[in-house]
Structure 1
Amino acid sequence: MRTLPRRLATALLVGSVLATTVACGSTPRAAAPATSPTTSPAAPSPTSTPTPTPEPEPVRWPLTGVGATAAVTGPALAVKIENSTAARPQTGLNAADLVWEQIVEGGISRFVAVYHSTVPTEIGPVRSVRPMDPGIAGPLHGLLAFSGGQGPFIDAVAAAGLQVVSHDAGAAGFYRTGRAAPHNIYADPHALLGQADAAHQAPPPPQFVVATGTQLPSALAGGPASVVDLKLSGIARPSWNWSPSDGRWVRYEGGTLALESDGAPLRAVNVVVLRVDVVSTPFTDAAGNHVPETVMVGSGEAWVATGGRAVAATWSKTSVDAPVVLTGADGQPVRLAPGNTWIELVPKGTGSVVIG
């Protein structure tokens, strides 16, 4: 047998011992094998919460704040309605979104009834235009219908941006009934609206601030009120009594319940009272009485009655075609309840307001 040299045998022995040590004990970290680096799996991204889609604002009728079931279209129609004893009971007043009461010659009151959310089949009796009507209806940018009137008053209607719809000028939609003249002119409001020209097709802007969502009408923070008793003139003395069973204010004329031609009492969700200046104009009526004008641009005291309660406020109006702004004692806008509103224009000097 061949004998290995001593130096080679020693080297083989040392190599054997090192191999045994590596197999049985810890060793320094060995170099990584020459392979492609392994990519650690990406950490899962946190689950993102989807941004909720905001609920669309409910569609509301602009003059009442009541919810609409479809898109709001079409212009507002303002109509002069008579309120003399011979004119009662009137037709169509309960369907109006807004009704303004004003004093005309002889101390008689007359209405400007505004239709938009509800259009009845008949309204009347229709009477003539007066100098304050452009300031009442101008902010609506719609139509103003009447039986006739003096030239300067009619011109002022057109100058306020309203479309003139006059019975005396031959507009369609008016007709006479069996009542004695001049209390016998009635109208089909659908026919009146059907004459709206291209410049008067848009819905009206809101005329007052109306409570929405969780907001409360401003008057509910005021004092209790069961009656709003008004003196517009010596012969025009309307009042509004709160009717809990109706949830409405019910109108009386000089202590007599005011009814429509169908027998329904005249009712309102909101009653707004404005103290206004009334001045005499150089114009006269057929009997020689000077035509009064309610000054619509300005400011003054106001009261708002809603839900059997009432609150004091101030009113202001900056121009003929600007709406009336109601402001509370806190400087904030006064909010009405959704529903129809009657606006009473009470002369500062000769009228009175008692709320109790």
Structure 2
Amino acid sequence: MTRPRRGPTVRRARHRGRTTALLAALIAAALLAGCTVTGSDGDDERGRGDGRRDDRGSAPPTGSVLAVKIDNVSAARPQTGLDAADVVYAEQVEGGLSRLMAVYATKFPETVGPVRSARESDLELLRQFDEPTLAFSGAQGKLLPLIGNAPLHAKTPEDADDAYFRGDEKPAPHNLYLRPGKLIGSPPGADALTTGFRYGAAPAGGTPEDSRTVRYPAARFTFTWSDDSRRWQVSMDGTPTITTDDSRVAPATVVVQYVTIRASRFHDYLGNNTPYTETVGSGRAEVLRDGRVYDGNWKRPTPTDGTAFTTTDGTPMNFAEGQVWVVYAKA
């Protein structure tokens, strides 16, 4: 499998002798990436806001799902290991751009990335799992204490430097990669996916669907049905999504989940507000499977619950076996 070549151990970049023009270019690149800038490459690489390492032990438990924050601007593509995830969540971030969270339970790819920073919404989303491991590059300084106190295993390069490396095929900050096997010895298995998803035969009804596009202010996702592969082929911003080993990313089920996206308490270094995606509550959803779209509803009563999906008449909604993409769209 072709993957980014191994780079040096991640460390805080120290660029001496750079010109003012180059520094300005780096700041502009960070802005385009939609990140919160607190570290030298746009992400704060501290693992905990209180300066301590993860207090649940140096190694996450084997039964823990692995959630990885994945960069999704054009400079970060093609991504690595995205096709191996059990679930991929797409969320809106600063500037109307998007970021992904890939969740791994049944198998670990050799490499995942590029890895980027966490957002406040991730903490609510991840409460449905039992002490998940969150791999991320860093976070806005004021958010780090919340991450440190959340019921999860936060792992940045500072906490597990042997599990991360910098590739040399993309510019920083879009070149940080994770070796999941060095962070968690083996995948926990499907039972760790406490998402509330059901799998089985398709419900009755539905409407034939060839393609569906979900738009953010500065990003878009298109899912095109392939009769040959029986999967929804992903394109992002008009370009087919293909991983670094030339695998087309194509989930079996796509969920367009309509949620409240509001302003959070955090801002980036230019004062742009960080969106907060509310994943607890209820609302409308569209489920794409088997070349059809099914109108339905979603419900997640508390943060520790998974999300239940039903048809409009209240019948539990089954997903097709295989990878699931959940795209959060503004209600």
- Give yes or no for TM over 0.5: yes
The Cα of 1:322 is off from its aligned counterpart by 1.7
The correspondence for 2:122, drawn from 130, 133, 139, is 133
CA deviation vs aligned residue, 1:50-89 (integer Å, no higher than 9, x gap): xxxxxxxxxxxxxxxxxxxxxxx73210000010011110
The Cα of 1:255 is off from its aligned counterpart by 2.4
CA deviation vs aligned residue, 1:16-75 (integer Å, no higher than 9, x gap): xxxxxxxxxxxxxxxxxxxxxxxxxxxxxxxxxxxxxxxxxxxxxxxxxxxxxxxxx732
The correspondence for 2:67, drawn from 78, 82, 93, is 78
Kept after mapping to 2: 8 A contact 1:125/1:185: yes
- Residue 337 (1) aligns with residue 326 (2): no
Moved more, 148-157 or 181-190: 148-157
Kept after mapping to 2: 8 A contact 1:229/1:238: yes
The Cα of 1:152 is off from its aligned counterpart by 4.7
The Cα of 1:156 is off from its aligned counterpart by 3.4
Q: Given residue 161 of structure 1, which amino acid in structure 2 is its aligned partner? A: P
What is aligned with 1:174? 164
Pairing of 1:127-166 with structure 2 (within 5 A): 127-141=116-130, 142-166=132-156
Partner SS for 1:191: helix
Partner SS for 1:140: coil
- Residue 94 (1) aligns with residue 78 (2): no
The correspondence for 2:103, drawn from 90, 95, 114, is 114
Q: Distance in 1 between matches of 2:284 and 2:190?
A: 32
Kept after mapping to 1: 8 A contact 2:209/2:293: yes
Identity of aligned residues (%): 35
CA deviation vs aligned residue, 1:250-276 (integer Å, no higher than 9, x gap): 011232211111122211000011111
The Cα of 1:165 is off from its aligned counterpart by 1.1
Gaps spanning 5+ residues in structure 2: where? 1-61
**Distance change >3 Å, CA 100–CA 265, structure 1 → 2:** same
The Cα of 1:161 is off from its aligned counterpart by 1.8
Q: Given residue 156 of structure 1, which amino acid in structure 2 is its aligned partner? A: L
- Residue 235 (1) aligns with residue 218 (2): yes
Normalised by the length of structure 2, the TM-score is 0.75
The correspondence for 1:183, drawn from 171, 174, 179, is 174
CA deviation vs aligned residue, 1:191-248 (integer Å, no higher than 9, x gap): 121499xxx9995143133334xxx123x631111111111x2221111000001110
Q: Distance in 2 between matches of 1:346 and 1:230?
A: 7
**Distance change >3 Å, CA 234–CA 205, structure 1 → 2:** closer
CA RMSD between the two structures = 2.2
The Cα of 1:286 is off from its aligned counterpart by 3.1
**Distance change >3 Å, CA 118–CA 194, structure 1 → 2:** closer
Q: Distance in 1 between matches of 2:124 and 2:227?
A: 34
Q: Given residue 146 of structure 1, which amino acid in structure 2 is its aligned partner? A: F
Q: Distance in 2 between matches of 1:224 and 1:250?
A: 16
Q: Distance in 2 between matches of 1:170 and 1:150?
A: 19
Q: Given residue 213 of structure 2, which amino acid in structure 1 is its aligned partner? A: D
Q: Distance in 2 between matches of 1:158 and 1:315?
A: 29
> Comparing both chains, which one has the higher relative contact order based on Cα–Cα distances under 8 Å and sequence gaps of 6 or more?
2
The correspondence for 1:224, drawn from 202, 205, 208, is 208
Partner SS for 2:271: coil
Q: Distance in 1 between matches of 2:221 and 2:196?
A: 23
Partner SS for 1:148: coil
Kept after mapping to 1: 8 A contact 2:65/2:193: no
Q: Distance in 2 between matches of 1:138 and 1:332?
A: 25
The Cα of 1:288 is off from its aligned counterpart by 3.0
Q: Distance in 2 between matches of 1:156 and 1:204?
A: 24
Q: Distance in 2 between matches of 1:338 and 1:190?
A: 25
What is aligned with 2:192? 204
Large movers: runs of 4+ above 3 Å: 151-160, 168-172, 200-203
What is aligned with 1:324? 307
Q: Distance in 1 between matches of 2:171 and 2:160?
A: 20
Kept after mapping to 1: 8 A contact 2:211/2:224: yes
Q: Distance in 1 between matches of 2:260 and 2:180?
A: 32
Kept after mapping to 2: 8 A contact 1:75/1:201: no
The Cα of 1:124 is off from its aligned counterpart by 0.3
**Distance change >3 Å, CA 156–CA 324, structure 1 → 2:** farther
The Cα of 1:151 is off from its aligned counterpart by 4.5
Larger radius of gyration: 1
Kept after mapping to 2: 8 A contact 1:284/1:290: yes
Partner SS for 2:229: coil
